[in-house]
Structure 1
Amino acid sequence: MFITASWKEPVPGWVDTINGPTGLFAGSAAGIFRTMYCHTQMTVDMIPGEFPVNLMVASAWDALNHNSSRQPINPTVFLASTGQNPVTWAQCEKIIYPMMFEYPFSRAVWPPGGSFKSNYLHHRLDQALYHFAPAYMLDGIIRLCGKKPFMVRLHKKAAKAMECVQFYTIREWRSRSDNTNSLIERMSDSDRAIFNFDSRTIDWNDYLCTYYLGVRKFILKDELHTLPAAKSHMRR
């Protein structure tokens, strides 16, 4: 399971790590990633960042409540979206891809593009053609300018990071959240609203758009005021 950007708290889209889908979205927006080995109909188990925190608060309340009344409790709770509100990699691509053109990265090295590949050989071919071939050419130009090359090193580092994500893009797991759902039922309506961790409430279109804008702002350090310049840069 991936713990990803926040949905609503502490601020929408807050994220501070490039692990998992975050690195994939950031690299694609920057024009670095043009291909990814992925079985697009498989589900991706991601949970907004505030959900685990809210679950821990609710679990502490629930344990204290049960201990005070001396009722037995099974303290094992799980957070998962795949079992009750699944989203596939194909859905992620369909929602995120247009966002990269509507809110482009102002310092992108190449316009957003590329796609998921279900065939590994096809992916490796595109990786050679669209990742490493341009990187070697750009490094050659950089050397001629008397500067230190970095593009090949950057792509090798990115490829290594994506190999870790690839373990999850070609596999899927179905998780049960029975104890978690029971805990939600024991909470009041107001507590559920304040300490939301119910994956059934996630609106994936809204969340993934918020997620991408968070990646652009907090990972790529691109504020919304750069949008006109970013769109102009993409058209060139």
Structure 2
Amino acid sequence: MDSTISIEEQALEKRKILNEAILSGDSQVQKFYDDAVVFVTGGSGFIGKQLIEKLMRSANIRKMYMLVRPKKGKSVVERVNHVLKNPVFTILRNDKPSFVDKIVGIEGDVSEINLGIDEKTWAMLTNEVNVIIHAAATVNLVETIKMSTLINIRGTREMLKLAKSCTNIKSIVHVSTTYANATKSRVKDEVKEDFYDSPILPDALIQLAESVPEDTLNSMIAPLNQDWPNSYTFTKTVTEDLIRRHARDLPICIVRPAIVIAAYEEPMPGWVDEKNAFGPSGMILGPYMGVTHTYIANNEINVELVPVDLVNNAIIAAAWETYENFKKGDKKISIYAISGKRNPIKWGQLRDGTYRAQFKFPAKEAIWYRFAVQARCKFIYVILSWLLHYIPALIIDGCCLLMGKKPRLLKTYKLADTLFSVFNYYTTNDWVFCDANTFSLYNKLSDTDKLLYNCDMASVDIVKMVFLWCYGVMKYIAKEEIGNIEYATKKQFCYCFG
């Protein structure tokens, strides 16, 4: 049977089982969300889109407020509608078209004081909101410390301000990352589901970001962030410390996903946001399209990949458990890591899996034959980059200029080089991300909830996961016609032997 047909048939069977579970009324997690008013930040992001879809499909939420950053020439309603046109909502639109009426856009900006929300709207939210899921962050690994601080740290502080003002708050989830504490000094060590000491007081860093020029701030922070590879992970660890200091009396938890990739099952296997082309999925997209041909990696390191649907299942279930614990007087802030600890995959296995998948999904729009040479060190990578990327780009762009066409390839390779340079840290190092809290959460779920909100990475077929990731990258990012591979296969054959 054709692999793509098999994927669709299996997905249809799974949807039938899930729909029966949703309608059964046996879910404790569903009951927690019954008639709830949920406030979501980061709803237009990769995790946020699938989170909204899953909550709307599986729970009877009364209303969902979605923080939307203002954009010139587009209203909040237009921006929300644009998000809801994403393919992730296709099944939901067909099955429950009225779900759109429950989603209300709130104009604001997570980098601003009070999240950029006006006084009247703020008052309305504090009267209505029961659950807050804070997924907004800048995930740009080369973002400045100043902007990362204002978005990731101060934005979380302002979210906590809103939560403290809510008269009927039941639960809050802050989305962090397992890599917040995956420092250079902890390579190969365990990273526990616990708080770690911050290199600087969160409020002090916020004050500096608000008052000190960017160059001065960079110089001041440089001695403090040397153990972190980028501003994203540095500000994430400081943010977690801010939560420890500011949210002790709130029903709050932290969910730390590892590297988030395409959906394993829901709402459809392989779904991935097209914005992910500039994230981990770009590592697959580049070679598949015949654009990039070299990278740095170590075959023996464990790669921490987690499907987006399991991540959001953990977020949804963690909010429920946090509420249950808080009701019993347990105010401990739990941290849930969702990683590959119980079902590891090495880089060499990932490389082989993506190589095998490329023969199932050849790209019709590929610009050259697909191959990639793996380097173990930066010196070899630089040589290969010049031979396989920059010299061909200069030649081709030069020909384009002579023909009066716009040169593009050199710019593409510079962007790819930036992407690879920030990911090299994660393709050459590994850590052991403890996940006992997440495993315990899964075991507390009823049989129905284990089906609806599965967050057990041990249940994932790793080979299938990689295959579906490749499938999703080609279908949802490259937008290839997956079912018709004859032309694309012939094209690759011509590149190789023509």
Do both proteins adopt the same fold according to a TM-score greater than 0.5, normalized to the shorter chain?
A: yes
Deviation at 1:170, TM superposition (A): 1.3
Q: Distance in 1 between matches of 2:424 and 2:278?
A: 12
For the structure 1 residues 190 and 73, does the alpha-carbon distance in structure 2 shift closer, same or farther, using more than 3 Å as the test? farther
What residue is the counterpart of 2:408 in the other structure? 150
What residue is the counterpart of 2:447 in the other structure? 189
Deviations along 1:90-149, whole A, 9 cap, x unmatched?
100111112112311111111111232113222221111011111111112212212111
Deviation at 1:34, TM superposition (A): 0.9
- Is 1:2 aligned with 2:251? no
Deviation at 1:55, TM superposition (A): 0.8
Alpha carbon RMSD of aligned pairs, Å? Answer: 1.6
Where 1:14 maps in the other structure, the secondary structure is: coil
Q: Distance in 2 between matches of 1:145 and 1:136?
A: 14
What residue is the counterpart of 2:470 in the other structure? 212
Deviation at 1:21, TM superposition (A): 2.7
From 333, 338, 349, the counterpart of 1:79: 338
What residue is the counterpart of 1:107 in the other structure? 365
Query: What amino acid is the match of 1:199?
Result: M
- Is 1:11 aligned with 2:268? yes
What residue is the counterpart of 2:395 in the other structure? 137
Query: What amino acid is the match of 1:9?
Result: E
Q: Which has the higher contact order (CA 8 A, sep 6+)?
A: 1
Q: Distance in 2 between matches of 1:194 and 1:115?
A: 41
What residue is the counterpart of 2:302 in the other structure? 43
- Is 1:163 aligned with 2:417? no
Q: Distance in 2 between matches of 1:119 and 1:73?
A: 43
Contact 1:63–1:73 (Cα < 8 Å) also in 2 = no
Corresponding residue pairs, total: 235
Query: What amino acid is the match of 1:206?
Result: K
Q: Distance in 1 between matches of 2:368 and 2:356?
A: 16
Deviations along 1:191-219, whole A, 9 cap, x unmatched?
11211111111211001000000000111
Q: Distance in 1 between matches of 2:435 and 2:457?
A: 9
Normalising by structure 2, we get a TM-score of 0.45
Contact 2:289–2:370 (Cα < 8 Å) also in 1 = yes
Q: Distance in 2 between matches of 1:12 and 1:169?
A: 25
Identity of aligned residues (%): 26
Higher strand share: 2
Contact 1:40–1:116 (Cα < 8 Å) also in 2 = no
What residue is the counterpart of 2:457 in the other structure? 199
Where 1:59 maps in the other structure, the secondary structure is: helix
Query: Unaligned stretches of 5+ in structure 2?
Result: 1-257
From 98, 117, 121, the counterpart of 2:379: 121
For the structure 1 residues 64 and 119, does the alpha-carbon distance in structure 2 shift closer, same or farther, using more than 3 Å as the test? closer
Query: Unaligned stretches of 5+ in structure 1?
Result: none
From 160, 165, 177, the counterpart of 2:435: 177
Contact 2:313–2:453 (Cα < 8 Å) also in 1 = yes
Query: What amino acid is the match of 1:5?
Result: A
Query: What amino acid is the match of 2:262?
Result: A
Contact 2:343–2:462 (Cα < 8 Å) also in 1 = no
Q: Distance in 2 between matches of 1:46 and 1:102?
A: 21
Where 2:374 maps in the other structure, the secondary structure is: strand
Q: Distance in 1 between matches of 2:373 and 2:439?
A: 36
Structure number, greater radius of gyration: 2
Q: Distance in 2 between matches of 1:56 and 1:227?
A: 38
